[in-house]
Amino acid sequence: MDCRLLPRARANFGSGLDCVADIEGASVENEIHVLDPARFSRDDIGDSIAGRLAAPYNQTIVAAGNWYIRVRYPDHAPGVAEALDAVVLGGRSGS
C-alpha cells in the first residue's frame, strides 16, 4: 500500500509517521506508530493502544505486533487491516 508521508513533530515515546493512502478512490490519512519491543513491554504497547480506544478519543486502531495505525476514517479500517494482515480495534464506524 503506497502511503505519501506528511510532516510530523518528533516525539520521545516511539517512532511514528503520518501518511495518506489512496483506498478505493478516497484519500485516507493515517497515523502509524511503532514501539521498539526492546524498550517497551507488551503492556506498554497495550496501554498505548488502550488510551486511544478509550473516551474521549474513541479512535479506530489497526494493530499487529509492536505497531498500530490510527485510521482517521473508520470506514476504511477493515481495508487497511486486510492489506496489512492486522486487526481493527475499537473506535466508531460511519464517521
Output the pTM of the full model.
Answer: 0.76
How far is Cα 95 from Cα 75, in angstroms, rounded to an integer? 7
Return the SS3 of 51.
Answer: helix
CATH number of 4-89: 3.30.200
Phi, psi of 62, deg, nearest 5: -110, 125
CA angle, residues 1, 8, 23, in degrees to nearest 5: 25
Q: What does the pLDDT look like over 18-64, one tens digit per residue? A: 888 887 788 878 888 888 888 889 999 999 999 999 999 999 999 99
